[in-house]
Homo-oligomer: A and B are copies of this chain.
Amino acid sequence: VSQDFDQGERRTRILDAAEVCFVRNGFHRTTMQDVAAECGMSAGNLYRYFPSKDAIVQGLTERDRRELAEDFASFDGADDFMTTFARLGRKHFEEDSRDRSILCLQIWAEATRNPDFGRIASEFEADVVARLTRLLQDARAAGQIAPSADASAIAILICTLANGLFVRRAIVPDFDAAREIPPVMNLIGALVRGAVSLTPEAVCPEPVS
């Protein structure tokens, strides 16, 4: 048991070190030797835990998915969807470091041409959409959000907004979370209150005159 704990702790340290290296130098310029050096370990020892950079990315993604599952579990028994959601939003976009956004962009960029990364990224995205959809369906069934709220369409819009925030956070030098998050939260609030029709018929609304 103690050795398992050490192994888990060692893997955590390696993943943390890899994040630092990928953010600092980019995925392509980072070598296994860089990761080993960053966590004060020999390259030979590192290979016992992860056989390749791809395996490290897989490990990082699995960790992210576990954290995501924990985040979603925090909704269990919560009686106010938007309060819990706003708390998670603050955690992901205000408290989390900018490095997380940079890492996302690195993985997304690699996903467009490496099939393994592509599968990891698309499964992660589909997982978030599916979890959000179920969450919204449950909240709707519990009367916490509008009966007319389209759970699937809103889940996709939330992911679109979240991905867009990750991009802006990574590339806008003076990104101000305190300024940009509240309008996004208000928009999501309006969606779950059913204040915005999402049916295709309303694509070109009448101009206000």
Chain A residues near B (Cβ < 8 Å):
23-26, 28-29, 79-83, 86, 102, 105-106, 108-113, 118, 121-122, 125-126, 143-146, 153, 156-157, 159-168, 170-173, 180, 182-187, 189-200, 202-205, 207-209
Would you call B161 and A160 a contact (CB within 8 A)? yes
A146–B206 CA distance with the chains assembled, in angstroms = 12
CA A195 to CA B144, docked complex, whole Å: 21
A25-B86 in contact given A144-B207, A186-B196, A208-B146 (Cβ < 8 Å): no
Q: Is the CB of A24 within 8 A of B82?
A: no
Task: Say how far A204's CB is from chain B's closest CB, in angstroms.
Answer: 5
Given contacts A172-B125, A208-B146, contact A113 B25 (CB under 8 A): yes
Chain B residues with Cβ below 8 Å from A203 are 86, 182, 185-186, 189
Are A145 and B26 in contact, with the CB atoms below 8 A?
no
